[in-house]
Amino acid sequence: MAESIPRKPVTVPDILARKRDGVPVVMITAYDATFARLIDACDVDIVLVGDSLGMVMQGHEHTLEVTVDHMIYHARCVRRALRCAHLTVDMPFMSYQASPDLAVTNAGRLIKEGGAASVKLEGGAQVLPAIERIVAAGIPVMGHLGLTPQSVHAFGGFKVQARDAQAAERLRNEAAQLEQAGCFSIVLEGIPAALATEVSASLSIPTIGIGAGNGCDGQVLVMQDLLGLDDSFKPKFVKRYATLADPVRDAFSAFAAEVRSRAFPGPEHSFASKNSPVAAAPDPDPNDHAEPPRRAGYGPR
């Protein structure tokens, strides 16, 4: 439900204040202007343009084929629709792993060309030099620990992480290191709930959970999962707040049927000529445009 009071743009200090005030952070993914506009009308703190677009938008089995240019394109689409929510953009596979220099260059592109307000990258100790360089350049960084999808091959699939004592201790240490390196928040994905609660309590920056239980300082879901747009995919950690796959299919089927039966378009969907009006169509209106103006957001175009 949309808010009834005006909202201000959400900044990094606002997100940090959510932790201090005990207010959970809300983050949802988006990849286009239409859904970004709908999300922005609601009480959502962060919109994430995730490299999950490789799966939900491009149809791949993982995120590894996503490029920086892909991320910039989708980030620009989303930025045009946002007025309030903070825009975080994922750094895709191999855009930061090779060197800190490459990392800061690509993070800068996501800010300058994509309109991001912050970037997110996966990993712990091995990416600390990249995080430090990006933060030193004045770019806010969100970390990501646990099930990091860009490491899917190393993990042997999308599996829950940090279940044994050694891995859990490593995650605790890496969360502290990410905070020390300058991250303003950390996504905790696919780890035991008790561990996520413990890590969240140990940090002064907010954690945002996905498949990490209720003890995190916020939660994120992929938009398509939240809306139930893919009824063949429902991992344990996802709650469907709508089941839209069937209504969408019904609408497409109804459109196809009406086109084939010539029930659509009717006179009410047609335009008249000044000289030869279409029967039963209204008189032409000089202000009758084929499309109404669309409300624009802000940012790169």
Interatomic CA distance for residues 216 and 120, integer angstroms: 17
Residues 140 and 154: their CA atoms lie apart, in Å, by: 28
> Do the beta carbons of residue 25 and residue 185 sit within 8 Å?
yes
> Residue 122 catalytic?
no
Query: What does the alpha-carbon distance between residue 204 and residue 144 come to, in Å, rounded to a whole number?
Result: 16
Q: Nearest 5°: phi and psi at 255?
A: -60, -50
Residues shown for the chain: 301
d(CA 248, CA 246): 5
Q: Annotated catalytic residue: which of 122, 189, 258, 268? A: 189
Crossing angle of the two packed helices 100-112 and 68-79, in degrees rounded to 10: 30
Nearest to 152 by CA among 120, 109, 122: 122
Q: State the Cα–Cα distance between residues 218 and 54, nearest whole angstrom.
A: 24
Q: Where are the alpha helices (DSSP H) in 80-159?
A: 100-112, 128-136, 152-155
Give the pairing type, strands 25-29 and 118-120. Answer: unpaired
Please identify every residue annotated as catalytic: 189
